[in-house]
Structure 1
Amino acid sequence: MKKIMIMVAIIAIATTKITFAQSKTDVAFNQVLTAYYDVKNALATDKKDVAIEKVKVLTAKVNAVPHKDLPAAQHNVWMEQAKIIKAKAAELAAGKDIKVQRKSFEGISYAMIKTVKNIKFNSGTVYVQHCPMAKASWLNEKENIENPYYGSMMFDCGDVAETIKAK
Structure 2
Amino acid sequence: MKKILGLVAFMTIATTAFTYAQSKTDVALNQVLTAYYDVKNALAADKKDVAIEKAKVLSAKVNAVNHKDLPAEQHKIFMEQAAVIKSKSAQLAGSNDIKTQRKAFEGISYAMIKTLKSLKFNSQTVYVQHCPMAKASWLNEKENIENPYYGSMMFDCGDVSETIKSK
**TM-score per shorter chain, which class?**
over 0.9
Q: Which residue identity does 1:86 align to in structure 2? A: K
Provide the secondary structure at the position in 2 that maps to 1:76: helix
Q: Percent identity?
A: 80
> How high is the TM-score relative to the length of structure 1?
0.97
RMSD, matched Cα: 0.9
Which amino acid counterpart does residue 157 of structure 1 have in structure 2?
C
Tell me the CA shift for residue 118 of structure 1.
Answer: 0.8
Structure 1 stretches of at least 4 aligned residues deviating more than 4 Å after TM superposition: none
In the TM superposition, residue 73 of structure 1 has moved relative to its aligned partner by: 1.2
Deviation at 1:71, TM superposition (A): 1.4
Matches within 5 A, 1:47-126: 47-126=47-126
Per the normalisation by structure 2, the TM-score is 0.97
Distance 2:3 2:79 in 1: 42
1:35 alignment partner, SS class: helix
What does residue 45 of structure 2 align with?
45
- What code does the residue aligned with 2:140 have? N
Runs of at least 5 residues in structure 1 that lack an aligned partner in the other structure:
none
- 2:153 matches 1:153: yes
How far apart are the structure 1 equivalents of 2:103 and 2:65?
25
The residue identity in structure 2 corresponding to 1:92 is L
Distance, in Å, in 1 between the alignment partners of 2:42 and 2:61 is 17
Amino acid at match of 1:55: A
Equivalent runs, 1:126-141 vs 2, <5 Å: 126-141=126-141
Distance of 1:151 and 1:33 partners within structure 2? 20
**Residue aligned with 1:80, SS:** helix
In the alignment, structure 2 segments of 5+ residues that lack a partner are none
Per-residue deviation at 1:13?
Answer: 1.1
